[in-house]
Amino acid sequence: MKRRSFLATAGAGLAAGAIAKPAIAQSMPEIRWRLTSGFPKSLDTIYGGAEFLAKYVSAATDGKFQIQPFSAGEIVGTFQAADAVAGGTVEMSHTATYYYVGKDPTYAAAAALPFTLNARQLNAWNYHGGGIALVNEFMAKQNLYALPGGNTGTQMGGWFRKEIKTVDDLKGLKMRIAGIAGQVMQKLGAIPQQVAGGDIYPSLERGTIDAAEWIGPYDDEKLGFQKVAPYYYYPGFWEGGLTIHFLFNKQKWESLPKNYQAILESACMAANLDMLAKYDAKNPAALRSLVASGAQLRPFSQEILDAAYKATNEVYAEISAQNADFKKIVDSIRAFRNEEYLWFQVAEYAFDTYMIRARTRG
């Protein structure tokens, strides 16, 4: 009897052991997601952020969590990415949220606002100034969850087919420009156009647009803008830094195991750092190459910058009066900006100003 009892007990124990899964296996399920990018695959910097994240997540989960990136247009176009994620067509996206300014200007506030923060300051606001939480108060209403996943640094002011010396030269100018910046330029007389990155060159070549801003020397050279619009202006006052976001379907994000959420958070932060570092490393040589091939560098005049600053504040006031979500974010960013430049004007400004002069001395 004792032998039969032992065998029965042992058998039950073995069966239970065969059925039970180790805790580590339960927390590392096999998951396959699709990611739609807002950018063409030819741009290894900005599109590359999605590839960076996919490799990071796969390595951190021993291949259990696979994310497959698709370039803009392979599943949906650049301007449909947010809707595709919110609606569950894909689980996530990597994009500049100001592309969806037409849906709600708060999308643009999450990405870049004229005359506000540079890349380092944006990261400070996002990670330590409550920015991520504020952005996600809005994104939750869109069935999205957002994390910073890249930054371009301060951008150039764009490519123009003719010289732009005064505000009058902007009147009637058809310019590819995204986000709130389009509304600012409209106040100055330009006609803003929404054009996806891969369509800018043919639009300039055909004369459908007269000018276009994209990012900066490295990407701009890859897209060949200097061949069709020789005047290269700076600075891109509308983007002291552009936060690129990873957008997640809210239900899909919340359904992930906590350890997968933590891995994604770390991967997004690493992708954010990596993209900015790539642009800083690659832009100097690209700028030299562009100038050597005929690009004519021009600064925006003080008249244009002052007029744009005034117009920007008018746009902020007009939108804030009608949109509480936008106002909450823009007020937070502007208050943070004022404190940041209190600091930046001391050590940072003094150091950078000296080094700009000193570099020519070797």
Residue 35: how many CA atoms within 13 Å on its side-chain side?
A: 27
In whole angstroms, give the CA distance from residue 100 to residue 285.
33
3-state DSSP assignment of residue 137: helix
Q: Give the bridge partners for 69, in sequence order.
A: 35
Q: How many helices (H) and strands (E) does the chain have?
A: 15, 11
- Residue 120 token pair: 């380092």
Residue 214 is labelled as binding a ligand: yes
- Residue 312 token pair: 């920007």
**Edge-to-edge strands, sheet with 65-70:** 65-70, 31-37, 92-95, 243-249, 144-151
Residue 125 is labelled as binding a ligand: no
Tell which residue, 281, 26, 5, 269, has the closest CA to residue 127.
269
| Backbone phi and psi for residue 14, each to the nearest 5 degrees, phi listed first | -65, -40
Cβ(149)–Cβ(274) under 8 Å?
no
Segment 340-345 long-range contacts (CB within 8 Å, at least 24 positions apart): 340/117, 340/121, 340/124, 344/121
Residue 155 is labelled as binding a ligand: yes
Whether the upstream peptide bond of residue 284 has omega within 30° of 0, thus cis, is: no
In whole angstroms, give the CA distance from residue 346 to residue 338.
13
In whole angstroms, give the CA distance from residue 142 to residue 24.
33
- Residue 31 token pair: 């998951």
Residue 74 is labelled as binding a ligand: no
Question: How many CB atoms neighbour CB 42 within 10 A?
Answer: 12
Residue 176 is labelled as binding a ligand: yes
Q: Give the bridge partners for 212, in sequence order.
A: 159, 176
Known binding positions: 155, 176, 213-214, 239
Known binding positions for Na(+): 214
Known binding positions for substrate: 155, 176, 213, 239
